Amino acid sequence: DHKLKHMAELQQSVVTDQDTRLQIQGQILQWEENLERLHCEQFRLRCYMASLQSGELPNPKSLLTHVSRPTKNTLNKLGVFTVSSFHAFICARSPSLLNNLLAGRGATKRRPPMLSRSNSGSSRRSMQ
């Protein structure tokens, strides 16, 4: 992961066109945000596994070491650099993630299976 970021930063330093540099910078920031989201989701799933197996919860430092510098600076300015504040920051940054978490789909964009018309019609009749 760090090699990819380093390669992108090297490419950015070589490019002379301002628009291309901004585009590369945007791609680097998007990559960092996606990586943070992935690490947060992975930590959440490790917590669930520990709970299901009656094991010890994972160390939060393992997650907080993967926070990017801009995110860390923002959370430090707010005076809260914890797993909860990191998760809240990620959810605030991407509302679709919060909607997926509330719907029980995790950070992925999976959709629930669609009901056929025959199933949905019978369920409506039973509710009336």
SS (H, E, C) 53-121: CCCCCCCCHHHHCCCCHHHHHHHHHHCCCCHHHHHHHHHHHCHHHHHHHHCCCCCCCCCCCCCCHHHHH
Distances (CA, A) of 22 to 6, 55, 85: 16, 46, 29
Structure confidence at residue 9 (pLDDT): 77
Query: What's the whole-model pTM score?
Result: 0.66
Q: Are 5 and 28 in contact (CB under 8 A)?
A: yes
Q: pLDDT tens digits, the chain, 128 residues: what are they?
A: 667 777 777 777 777 888 888 888 888 888 888 889 999 999 999 999 999 999 999 998 989 888 988 899 999 998 989 999 998 888 888 767 666 666 766 555 555 555 544 444 444 444 44
Domain borders along the chain are 2-108
- Phi-psi category of 79—alpha, beta or left, where left has phi over 0 and alpha has psi -120 to 50? left
Structure tokens at 100: 């997926």
Report residue 40 CA to chain centroid gap: 6
Report residue 126 CA to chain centroid gap: 39
